[in-house]
Structure 1
């Protein structure tokens, strides 16, 4: 699934509510089906390319002909089986995710799901997975925000894979501090025992794709995967739209 730029002057039905202009730069035309993000802004997004760690997807700034495991994964026993991210979290993408996540900028949904599926849709295929699940928000945070941004990505992947979107099974039972303010060790401790599976039979033996918007240290998705694995899941592969904590100079 890809999102192509449009030069058409056809009136966008949502143009009555949102002007047909890029909501990232406010300079160039952009339309609803593009998520109101213009071609110029899209060109600034740095996609993660090989080589990268076979376990966590961390990019390697060099040339490698074989799969490798990074030092983080050697030192840390992650609960997930693999993790992949579409792009570096920086610049325009970081700003768009922040506005969508915290400021109610839901007009970016088409852009974010399209960018996610342009990569995830090529790597993940129908028939290989039993279910898709998103990293849950704590009920208090969900009420404040009104929606779970990761669920939008998970729903698009579920549709592509023609496999169930598993909801209300993985729950966030601990109101954790915002991960962005914490160190690596603090993040790991912050999400320890923060997630619980309410219906173990529903995921027993399943191969699952766990979806989140951003992965930084991997602490949150690993805590989710740990709960899923201990409850009987066979495989947990993590997919996120963005990878935080990396320099775009690696790209």
Structure 2
């Protein structure tokens, strides 16, 4: 309570005082560019991803543009120790995401390298994924994938550096007859999603992969 008084929560966009469990005020929320994707239909994310790997369905909550509110939110989540923002992003996703009759069997978050996890203190997808798992009643496996190569954050890499993460992920167990929902924060080049998808496809049997991200670069 004292901390709430000394350091009140403010809207990331207009700096207005807001409830401690919010990210932005209701007015500024209208400034967020939500994608309006439908999971089971063709959309911009699915079209991009399908150029790199076989993707069943795809959904992005927001559009990620330079200096946009979506970028500010993701940066706060990842780099400013605000892990709990994952719950709000999950709630926004739940408001918009309908799996219809193609609900995945398993949620698999993109992992962090142990060194980066220790530095940051949390995986930004942990709370987000758990909230989706709870609401949609889909099991989540935080250990299905592991990151084997350490590198600096994607946001701090150049284009050429982002394409050097091949074989950076490893599947920890063989999967059979499953529809896997791969979740990540931002889809940029698609390099991360593609590497993980092929790692799963090449080491599993009868597996389908769908993709869900908080935001996609446009």
Q: TM-score, normalization: structure 2?
A: 0.83
Once the two structures are TM-superposed, the CA of residue 13 in structure 1 deviates from its matched residue by 10
What is the alpha-carbon distance in structure 1 between the residues aligned to residue 114 and residue 70 of structure 2? Answer: 27
1:236 is the counterpart of 2:209: yes
What is the alpha-carbon distance in structure 2 between the residues aligned to residue 164 and residue 231 of structure 1? Answer: 20
- Which of the numbers 176, 181, 185 marks the counterpart of 1:209? 181
Summarize deviations over 1:168-220 as a string: whole Å, max 9, x none. 1211111134333222x6423x22111101121xx222111111111112111
In structure 1, stretches of 5+ residues that fail to align are 1-11, 60-68, 247-251
Once the two structures are TM-superposed, the CA of residue 103 in structure 1 deviates from its matched residue by 1.5
Partner of 1:66 in structure 2? none
Partner of 2:28 in structure 1? 41
What is the alpha-carbon distance in structure 2 between the residues aligned to residue 13 and residue 228 of structure 1? Answer: 48
Partner of 1:5 in structure 2? none
Q: CA RMSD in A?
A: 3.0
Summarize deviations over 1:128-161 as a string: whole Å, max 9, x none. 3221110000110000011111222211111122
Partner of 2:83 in structure 1? 106
| Residues 46/174 of structure 1: CA separation in 2 closer, same or farther (3 Å cut) | same
Structural mapping, 1:1-251, within 5 Å:
15-16=4-5, 18-27=7-16, 29-33=17-21, 35-49=22-36, 57-58=43-44, 70=47, 76-90=51-65, 91-120=68-97, 123-124=98-99, 128-180=103-155, 181-183=157-159, 186-188=161-163, 190-200=164-174, 203-232=175-204, 234-244=207-217, 246=218
| Residues 126/102 of structure 1: CA separation in 2 closer, same or farther (3 Å cut) | farther
Q: Which runs of 4+ in 1 moved over 6 A?
A: none
What is the alpha-carbon distance in structure 2 between the residues aligned to residue 17 and residue 105 of structure 1? Answer: 17
Secondary structure class of the residue paired with 1:158? helix
Is the 2:37–2:60 Cα contact (8 Å) retained in structure 1? Answer: no
Q: Pick the structure with greater CA Rg.
A: 1
